[in-house]
């Protein structure tokens, strides 16, 4: 019997329909009512990788255009924008119901030597110092309607441990700076392309939530509409996502019903392996009158 992690690996092993045309399944992963943003990022990156066999992605930039429908597959169309001596560029359009739901540009680079420098990894304790998200959800399940319990508690593919987690429903205002540890043990033995896609998938987790922290908000309160608007990611070093990685997050600005969020991803030995930026919708929801 396959695990949810195995199912995620299957979701990212997209089907080739024709030259530069691929199909990925829309259901599975983090959410059931819509396609999780990291899901479509990872599948689009994998579609690009299927046309770039000889070098690794160093950056991607993407826009979320429409919500994804988990009930039908997603079609990914790859445009081979440029094949250069050092860099390769691809554009990917994700389509459902005949319309774009997402597009991505990715750049790939040969392995070159250069000067090295990075910020130090923050000291936040080890993953074992913090509860996993399954235990946290178990402790909050009695605060939501029973009909949502199964989905709230269902197993998810990424193991995640927030550093100093807040209360889901009555959080205090907090610093936008926050941290989490994450990994997927089933990533062991996967090639570098799949490691990139798995980290891209996970990079969408908790990122937009940084914008809510200074306002004492979470998604579980039902008073905020949120959605990812764009997503950028830069890969700096080799990734083995079966090992723990620290996600160092902040949100330096919120306004105009949008929040800007950043993240730095470190391997457990302190190596900065990726950087992330995202702007998202954080629109106040007006309460309905009785």
The domain spans of the chain are 4-111+127-284
pLDDT of residue 220: 81
Q: What is the pLDDT confidence band of residue 203, given thresholds at 50, 70 and 90?
A: very high
Whether 1 shows a pLDDT value over 70: the answer reads: no
pLDDT, tens digit (0-9, with 9 covering 90-100), for 19-66: 999 999 988 767 777 899 999 999 999 999 999 999 999 999 999 999
99 CB-contact burial (10 Å; exposed 0-12 / middle 13-18 / buried 19+): exposed
Residue numbers annotated as active site:
204, 228, 278
Q: What is the pLDDT confidence band of residue 260, given thresholds at 50, 70 and 90?
A: very high
- What is the arithmetic mean of pLDDT over 76-101? 98
The mean predicted confidence, pLDDT, of the chain is 93
Provide the CATH number for the domain formed by 4-111+127-284 in this structure: 2.40.160.210
Are 42 and 104 in contact, with CB atoms under 8 Å apart?
no
The token duo for 189 is 């033995």
H/E stretch holding 50 reads none
Q: What is the pLDDT confidence band of residue 123, given thresholds at 50, 70 and 90?
A: very high
Distances (CA, A) of 108 to 19, 45, 60, 88: 19, 11, 9, 5
pLDDT of residue 289: 54
SS3 246: strand
Whether 251 shows a pLDDT value over 70: the answer reads: yes
pLDDT of residue 60: 98
pLDDT of residue 139: 73
Q: What gap in Å lies between CA 38 and CA 286, rounded to an integer?
A: 28
Give the Cβ contact number of residue 169 at 10 Å.
Answer: 12
- What is the arithmetic mean of pLDDT over 228-238? 97
Q: What is the pLDDT confidence band of residue 231, given thresholds at 50, 70 and 90?
A: very high
pLDDT of residue 287: 63
Whether 232 shows a pLDDT value over 80: the answer reads: yes
Q: What is the pLDDT confidence band of residue 230, given thresholds at 50, 70 and 90?
A: very high
125 CB-contact burial (10 Å; exposed 0-12 / middle 13-18 / buried 19+): middle
pLDDT, tens digit (0-9, with 9 covering 90-100), for 137-196: 887 777 777 777 777 777 889 999 999 998 888 889 999 999 999 999 999 999 999 999
In 97-153, where do the E strands start and end? Answer: 99-109
The token duo for 90 is 């691809």
Q: What is the pLDDT confidence band of residue 105, given thresholds at 50, 70 and 90?
A: very high
pLDDT of residue 208: 96
């Amino acid at each position: 019997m396959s695990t949810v992690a195995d199912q995620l690996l299957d979701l990212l092993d997209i089907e080739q329909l024709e030259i530069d045309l691929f199909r990925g399944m829309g259901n599975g992963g983090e959410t059931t009512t819509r396609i999780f943003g990291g899901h479509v990022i990872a599948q689009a990156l994998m579609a690009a990788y299927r046309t770039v066999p000889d070098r690794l992605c160093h950056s991607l930039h993407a826009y979320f255009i429409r919500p994804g429908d988990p009930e039908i597959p997603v079609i990914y169309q790859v445009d081979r924008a440029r094949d250069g001596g050092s860099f390769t560029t691809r554009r990917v359009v994700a389509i459902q119901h005949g319309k774009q739901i997402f597009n991505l540009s990715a750049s790939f680079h040969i392995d070159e030597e250069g000067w090295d420098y990075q910020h130090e990894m923050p000291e936040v304790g080890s993953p074992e110092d913090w509860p996993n998200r399954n235990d946290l959800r178990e402790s909050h399940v009695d605060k939501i309607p029973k009909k949502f319990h199964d989905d709230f508690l269902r197993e998810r593919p990424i193991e995640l441990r927030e550093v100093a987690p807040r209360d889901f429903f009555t959080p205090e205002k907090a610093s936008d700076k926050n941290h989490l540890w994450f990994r997927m043990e089933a990533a062991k033995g996967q090639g570098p392309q799949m490691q990139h896609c798995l980290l891209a998938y996970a990079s969408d987790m908790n990122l937009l939530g940084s914008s809510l922290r200074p306002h004492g908000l979470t998604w579980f309160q039902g008073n905020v509409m949120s959605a990812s608007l764009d997503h950028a990611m830069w890969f700096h070093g080799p990734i083995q996502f079966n090992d723990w990685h620290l996600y160092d997050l902040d949100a330096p600005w919120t306004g105009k019903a949008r929040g800007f969020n950043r993240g730095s991803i470190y391997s457990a030995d302190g190596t900065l392996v990726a950087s992330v930026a995202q702007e998202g919708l954080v629109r106040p929801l007006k309460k309905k009158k009785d």
